[in-house]
A = this chain, B = another copy of it.
Amino acid sequence: MKDMLGRGNAVDVQTSLNLLMENLPHKLPEEKIVNTEDSLGMICSRNVVSSEDLPAFIRSTVDGYAVKAEDTYGATEALPAYLNLAGEIFMAESPVSHLPEHGAIKIPTGGMLPQGADAVVMFENVQPVDEKMIEVLRPVAPGDNVIQSGEDVGKGEIVIEKGRRLRPQDIGACMGIGETKIWVYDRPTVSIISTGDEIVPAESSPEMGRVRDINSYVLSAMVSDSGCIPYRKGIFRDNYETIRGIIENSMADSDAIVISGGTSVGTKDMVARIINDIGSPGVLFHGISLKPGKPMIGGVIKGIPVFGLPGHPAAVSVCFDIFILPVLNILSGLKERFPKYSRRIIKAKLSKNISSTSGREEHIRVMLEERDDGIWAIPVLGKSGLITTLVKADGTIVIPLNVNGVEKGETVDVRLF
């Protein structure tokens, strides 16, 4: 069945997403080597393997006395173990002395244990007798209060797996083993094409009947946020040759293409026709059971994903999150363990009943409000064509395909922007 504009039956979100994923190219981005300290947020392209043990020596984790654990067995406050003070270890010095029998050597946190010692007694569990002797009031087992050589990272161990987006602690771990350079993937590039005869650049004063471009800036910022590089290609007339030309041009310099706008009657169908005309597999879906976002087009041309987005800002935001972001993650080489939680989610109580048209997944913009009895999610009223509904909103809630609505007071997951 086709509707008046020749669109087929809308498919559901999961089916559309699967179609896209099945048709993505199986190639990874180019690699480059960068300074590890500059790699925050980049995606590691090779496993980082340690060429040494970290730490390289047994370290104390407390301020105390290095001992042989068996010398402390059975020690209690009533019946302490007496050990001979045999010197002190200073930071940054490798201990020259060997721990003598029934001896104890004073050691700071991080200090290197002397040979013969296998544990550290904390200061708190020691009573000095005189300058040459201490009482140990509680026993320690071998390995107590120390980090073993190689306990943090063993030589030959993988510290960072390729495909991970580098976090502060990942950079720290690389530095700890002396890996001050790291291989990362190049960032994919995304062309953003605005269409619509009524759209004018943001810096101009639109004549009556025209409006400024909003979506290409929203999309550009979302692409940057995802770690990719946006190319804003400009605003183009709703004309077959013009749009075909800029799509073909963008295929030469981009890893993905997003076409936004095209609100004129028939333009969406023209974009779909162009995608099919340029190459296979072409359009994979056109029309989704999703609100907002229903008229979205998803396709792949010669290995390059191409998206045709509806002109409404709210639809652009929802379609980016559901379809474009996961595709860009794959193109980036990301193999995140929990990519589906790419947005922060918080629980809130819904402030009013919401009814939803069964048969489509609905995304509702909400503001959060902290009240005495917890956090409430307040639906933002206003048409999805209004950019300010997105500005006022803190996030969205999703009403799944076959649910008719959510009742006031129900707890909902709010996906924060």
Contacts and interface: CB of A to CB of B under 8 A. Distances in A.
A323 to B, nearest CB: 16
A210 B112 CA distance: 8
A129 B40 CA distance: 64
B218 A388 contact: no
A417 interface: yes
B151 A386 contact: yes
State the copy count for this chain. Answer: 2
B4 A93 contact: no
B57 A209 contact: yes
Interface string A90-116: 111111000000000000111110000
Contacts of A169: 218, 313, 317, 387, 390-391, 417
Contact of A368 (B109, B123, B213, B338): B338
Interface residues of A, number: 96
Given A91-B197, A94-B207, A172-B215, A341 B338 contact: no
A208 interface: yes
Given A169-B218, A173-B214, A218-B171, A263 B110 contact: yes
A264 B391 contact: no
A345 interface: yes
B311 A109 contact: yes
A213 B92 CA distance: 13
B173 A112 contact: no
Given A180-B203, A344-B343, A173 B388 contact: yes
Nearest to A110: B263
A371 interface: no
